[in-house]
Amino acid sequence: MTTRVALNLVYLVPGETGGMEVYARELLPRLAALPDLELVAIVSRRAAADGAAPWNDGTVQSVLAPVDARDRKQWVWGEQWHVPKLARWVRADLIHSLASTGPGRLAGGPPRVTTVHDLHYAVAPEAHFGLRGLGMRLLVPAAVRASRRVIADSQSTKDDVVAHIGTDAAAIDVVHLATTLPPEGAPVTPEPELRARLELGERPLLLSLAAKRPHKNVEGLIDALALLPAERRPLLVVPGYETEHEAALLERARERGVADVVRFPGWLSRADVEGLWRACAAHVFPSFYEGFGLPVLEAMARGVPGACSDRASMPEVAGDAALLFDPSEAATIATAIERLIGDEPLRALLRERGLARAATFSWERTARETARSYELALAAG
């Protein structure tokens, strides 16, 4: 018997939705390849304009919710009104909301499954600014309570949903994410070009794919660099879009006397980021809270030695394939950096372990376990 699933992608603005966009782009083709599933993506105007996306290229059917997802009010209206209405119109058996929010109980429509990526609003409230934080406090619990099943990216996130929303643990399925390496022959910026253009000098490179927001704890990395002898300091590279927190980070680097070994190059092309992965000596991820911590997995998949915070989901992702440290103690971060940069046998061991561990995560497995959540949701009716 075929199950028709309406996928709530109203939130998605191509190029602007980060990991939740990656989740949708990678998951949809794998779900579409499974037997007995028929998928209909409900997309906003901006997503509908992306002709190369799996919701537009014939991989799955799609219908338009006439909203602009950049406008938070329209996003919410789209989820509460258009998604249930369109799901009924396409005769969906189930609605799957992929981005932590979704139709509430009063919105009506088919049974629901909601993927919750994290509970930043409760555990790390500084991650969401202003009205967005307030909105998540209302919308995430409403979507969860309206759902027959909840998918959590990690056991850590599942525990948070139980603790902060009060959901029965038996109704939450842990389904890990995965990562996809660039295809063979994809462009990669050569290291000499990156060093010259981004003014990276000749020091070993320490890469951190951490957004410049308070809970990502880039401050901890800056403080750790200051504890290292000047002659042994690597150069820290933190790419990504500029935030209102960046000025404070730059000032902290100046105060600690390490501004000369800190670079915030802004948003980079995929070729540049892949070039940094190849050029870096190590990757360090000091976040205080993550629902999954995808950069930890991305480093392992590329054979890059890494270290990360010992909090939330990160130890669950890293296993024994990365060094763990207390993100609130700069000295422990500094020790991890020194070991990553200077201990070649350790680096080789972490490379080997990282590649092996990363191989256990796959989008095909994510899709199979997601489909199992659909089965359980429909059986609960």
The answer to the question of residue 185 being in a domain is: no
Same domain (yes/no): 257, 142? no
Q: Per the structure block, which two tokens stand in for 250?
A: 């730059």
Same domain (yes/no): 129, 34? yes
Q: In what order do the strands lie in the sheet with 282-285?
A: 262-263, 235-237, 205-207, 282-285, 306-309, 323-325
Question: Which residue type, as a one-letter code, is found at position 17?
Answer: T
Same domain (yes/no): 195, 136? no
The answer to the question of residue 322 being in a domain is: yes
Compute the mean pLDDT over every residue in the chain, rounded to the nearest whole number: 94
Q: Within 10 Å of residue 268's Cβ, how many Cβ atoms?
A: 17
The answer to the question of residue 267 being in a domain is: yes
Q: Band of the pLDDT at 124, cuts 50, 70, 90?
A: confident
Domain count, the chain: 2
Same domain (yes/no): 338, 375? no
Region 153-164 average pLDDT: 97
pLDDT digits (tens, 9 = 90+) for 277-304: 999 999 999 999 999 999 999 999 999 9
For the chain, strand residue ranges (E) read 3-9, 37-43, 61-64, 94-97, 112-116, 149-152, 172-174, 205-207, 235-237, 262-263, 282-285, 306-309, 323-325
% of the chain exceeding 70 in pLDDT: 98
Same domain (yes/no): 206, 350? yes
Question: Which residue type, as a one-letter code, is found at position 241?
Answer: Y
pLDDT digits (tens, 9 = 90+) for 29-43: 999 999 999 999 999
Same domain (yes/no): 350, 367? no
The DSSP call for residue 40 is E
Residue with tokens 């309206």: 146
Question: Which residue type, as a one-letter code, is found at position 210?
Answer: A
228 half-sphere exposure, CB direction, 13 A CA radius: 26
Residue 27 has pLDDT above 80, yes or no: yes
Whole-model pTM over 0.75: yes
Same domain (yes/no): 350, 372? no
pLDDT digits (tens, 9 = 90+) for 66-89: 999 999 899 999 999 999 999 999
Same domain (yes/no): 117, 201? no
d(CA 75, CA 11): 6
Same domain (yes/no): 198, 155? no
Same domain (yes/no): 138, 283? no
Give the contacts of 41 (CB within 8 A, at least 6 positions apart): 6, 7, 9, 28, 54, 55, 60, 61, 62, 63
Same domain (yes/no): 335, 367? no
Same domain (yes/no): 293, 230? yes
CATH number of 335's domain: 3.40.50.2000
Give the contacts of 222 (CB within 8 A, at least 6 positions apart): 236, 249, 252, 253, 256, 258, 262
Q: What integer pLDDT is reported at residue 131 of this predicted model?
A: 47
The answer to the question of residue 7 being in a domain is: yes
Question: Which residue type, as a one-letter code, is found at position 191?
Answer: E
Residue numbers of the domain that contains 333: 191-358
d(CA 300, CA 338): 19
The answer to the question of residue 225 being in a domain is: yes
With contact defined as beta carbons under 8 Å apart, do 268 and 194 qualify?
Answer: no
The answer to the question of residue 184 being in a domain is: no
The answer to the question of residue 29 being in a domain is: yes
Q: Per the structure block, which two tokens stand in for 94?
A: 């189930």
The answer to the question of residue 242 being in a domain is: yes
% of the chain exceeding 90 in pLDDT: 88
Q: What does 193-227 look like in DSSP terms, one character per residue? A: HHHHHTT--SSPEEE----SSGGG-HHHHHHHHHH
Residue 126 has pLDDT above 90, yes or no: no
